Structure 1
Amino acid sequence: MGNALRYELLGPLRARRGDVEIGLGGVKQQTVLAMLLLEPNRPVAVDRIVRTVWGMQPPPSVTHVVQTYVSRLRSLLDLGRALVSTDAGYLLRVDPDQLDITFFDRHLAAAAQHGERGERVAAAGEVAAALALWRGEPLAGLSGESIEAARH
């Protein structure tokens, strides 16, 4: 994928451009990004982001804080028009090939196909490739309603 931006959710959240890891800021900002990545190419409602990041006690200026996090993410990751505000919330345009979870799912699907054909060695290789993508607990270090649901 060369210099394309990639996201890793199968462990602590990471973003990479080529071999360079990009700092994602604090936990709350990372949680906002994780929520957008868990719903790629679909708007995520601001109130859902707020509930996940702050629970039932958001700060008084929460809408502005969310806007600030989104703006910082847009800048840090050079997202430009890929991260937009819509009437329904924030939307992150992501190519499925940018997500480690896409490759995980593809390996498991390939393993199932090999298994159906009785190709056990090939199936085992695909399962091993899928498991190799895991770097620990998915979205480790992040919490909140939507994050916990995705983790399970």
Structure 2
Amino acid sequence: MDRMLVLKAISDETRMKIMSLLLHHNYCVRALARKLNLSEGAVSQHLKVLRDAGLLTGEKKGYFMHYDVNREVLHALAADIETLASMERELCTPEESGCHSSEQEYCHTQKHGNEEVRESCHGADFAKGGNGHEHPGHCHCHKSE
């Protein structure tokens, strides 16, 4: 599955409507065109994009092709999105993250009344000064101004 191709295919509102219709019932181009109040040519173009992304399968019934959604592709996409959503954020330290020295300089030379700056440099725990984290000796983030 080409995830980007699938995402681009379903990013169109009309194609999402087609997907929704086809998830409930198999339809041919003519039936989809009537339900969506579109020309058969327009529906065919949308179906091509969805087919090219691997989202549709077709079954010939007489003279007409009836389309169905390839649910395996939707499940694979859902699993990819779930994996992204469940990723844990790692704390960033300037030395380990490869920040440019100017970014480290910015963090460590600002008057750090601004928690957002401290958090972007050291992470939420450093910004709040909690959880027993030792602050680097050269940093004056938590010293009173």
- Max Rg structure: 2
Which TM bucket (shorter chain)? 0.3 to 0.5
Compare the two structures and name the one with the higher helix fraction.
2
- Normalising by structure 2, we get a TM-score of 0.36
- Normalising by structure 1, we get a TM-score of 0.35
